[in-house]
Amino acid sequence: MIQIVEKTPVTTWISDEKPIKEYLRYEYEWWRQGPFRKEKEVHRAPLVKKGYFLSGFQDRVISYLDRKGMEFEFKKPDYGIEVGLAALEGIEFRLDQWQAITKMTEKMRGVWQAPTGSGKTILICALVSAFPTTTVLVIVHTETLFRQTVEELERFFGRVGRLGCGEWEPGMTISVGMIQTLSKKMFKRDEWGMVIVDEAHHVNNFKGTYAKVLQRTLAPVRFGFTATPPQTEQGRMALEGLIGPMMGRTTYEELQEKEVLAMPKVRVYKAPETNRYRDLKGGYRKVYEEGIVKNRKRNMIIIQKAKELIDQGLTVLIMVEIINHGEILLEMSDFILPGEFVFLHGETASEIKEEEKQAFQDKERRGVIATRIWSEGVNIKSIGAVVNAVGGASEIASIQRFGRGLRRTKDKYSVVLIDIIDFTHRWFEKHSLKRIDTYLEAGWIISR
């Protein structure tokens, strides 16, 4: 009989690894230099080594052995974790939220997929309330998300520890930590009984900062939330192994039916085609700089559409990837909409970011141009329209950018999402078509 023993919340031992050695692997690509060009090789890396595998794979391994009809015995330590009924003062959970809370508290580890704007921070607070005697660490990855999460937790639980933005307060019952800070600081391995990862799709490999932190802590209860799970097999396996399996999903459609999310109205506009961009040579960074960032006609379409939306009474968020692009768009906007837009990026002072965020929320500021600091975790319900000025092919990035505007309010039933489709270069054309596929798969409306 095969013995399976959870040695720690991080690693599990199996007495005979042979039955699962080929099963518990992930596929990855490796490019090597051939005689004439680089050639792609596909490898399958093992995830069980010397009889050990990551504890997040326990359900996967047990289900596999069951299907194969193999006899095994599974032993798990009693960590003394007490689970109660989730409750937050003044909050009545929706049915989809109760379903997520019930499944997650039952399994004690796993990942829940929920759209941006669905109330993931409330779910995080609910899980904290369900483990009243357990020390908790909530991991985030941006300063804005850090401050929002601290604010929301303190709304229900009082003072929480801050492990980020220049602060380091270990020993608190509930703490919020930035992944960048946690990866550089030493902490007790048993400091927390529960760890919750927001925007958990960033747990997408076995060697990054998230892997480093999640393997260092011995928290037996592990949860993650994301709107967009990793796209690669390595990413999905890393998320499962380090946190736990996907436990369920809340869809855009059910939240739109419940009037939680606004109805997206995607409008696609084609960038002018010229041979100048089609014939661009060099690496992707150079082509992107010339064909997207410095493409004056493309940028003018973005500013013109933003003006039309602002003239309709909507607030507009323009998402960019690099600072130079934001500066160019801000300069162009000042000719057409003087004083309406502000540009926020990673080097903008924290006080200014917070002031402008509040002004945008209150509609005193009608236009914001922002880098990826606002692509995830920013809670501004009043956004009327989002413009993707970035381009790009990433499904995760596309959903996250447009997700900023999906939150519903009492007087906001729909949100305008604008994308600029580029057929000006083979790379841009490929990326544009992939983004359209992403919107179709998300059930969003595509119009011209």
Q: What is the pLDDT of residue 245?
A: 97
**264-279 residue pLDDT tens:** 788 889 988 877 777 7
Rg of the chain, C-alpha, whole Å? 23
Q: Is 102 helix (H, G, I), strand (E, B) or coil?
A: helix
Query: Is 89 inside any structural domain?
Result: no
> Which of 426, 422, 415 lies closest to 386 in space, CA to CA?
415
- Tell whether the model's pLDDT for residue 126 goes beyond 60: yes
Specify whether the CB–CB gap between 378 and 144 falls below 8 A: yes
Q: What is the pLDDT of residue 395?
A: 63
Query: Is 240 inside any structural domain?
Result: yes
Q: What is the pLDDT of residue 309?
A: 94
**338-386 residue pLDDT tens:** 999 999 998 888 889 889 888 888 889 999 999 877 766 666 777 888 9
Q: Cite the DSSP H helix spans in 111-168.
A: 120-130, 143-157
Same domain, 323 and 267: yes
Q: Is 409 helix (H, G, I), strand (E, B) or coil?
A: strand
Query: Is 284 inside any structural domain?
Result: yes
Transcribe 104-119 into DSSP letters: HHHHSEEEEE--TTS-
Choice among 167-171, 202-206, 275-279, 363-367 with the minimum mean pLDDT: 275-279
Query: Is 167 inside any structural domain?
Result: yes
Query: Is 117 inside any structural domain?
Result: yes
**pLDDT, average across residues 214-237:** 95
Residue 256 banded pLDDT, cuts 50, 70, 90: confident
Specify whether the CB–CB gap between 140 and 179 falls below 8 A: yes
Question: Could you tell me the pTM of the whole model?
Answer: 0.80
Choice among 127-141, 281-295, 362-376, 400-414 with the minimum mean pLDDT: 400-414
Considering its fold, how many domains does the chain have in total? 3
β-strand partners of 420:
269
The mean predicted confidence, pLDDT, of the chain is 90
Looking at residue 292, the DSSP 8-state letter turns out to be I
Same domain, 248 and 267: no
User: How far is the C-alpha of 299 from the C-alpha of 329, rounded, in Å?
Assistant: 7
Same domain, 124 and 270: no
Specify whether the CB–CB gap between 203 and 211 falls below 8 A: yes
Query: Is 87 inside any structural domain?
Result: no
- Tell whether the model's pLDDT for residue 324 goes beyond 90: yes
Q: Which residue has the higher pLDDT, 366 or 447?
A: 366
User: How far is the C-alpha of 379 from the C-alpha of 266, rounded, in Å?
Assistant: 21
Query: Is 401 inside any structural domain?
Result: yes
Same domain, 113 and 62: no
Residue 326 banded pLDDT, cuts 50, 70, 90: very high
Same domain, 387 and 293: yes
Cβ neighbours of residue 327 closer than 8 Å, sequence gap 6 or more: 343
Range of the domain at 22: 2-75
- Tell whether the model's pLDDT for residue 448 goes beyond 80: no
Same domain, 276 and 348: yes
Choice among 267-271, 413-417, 425-429 with the minimum mean pLDDT: 413-417
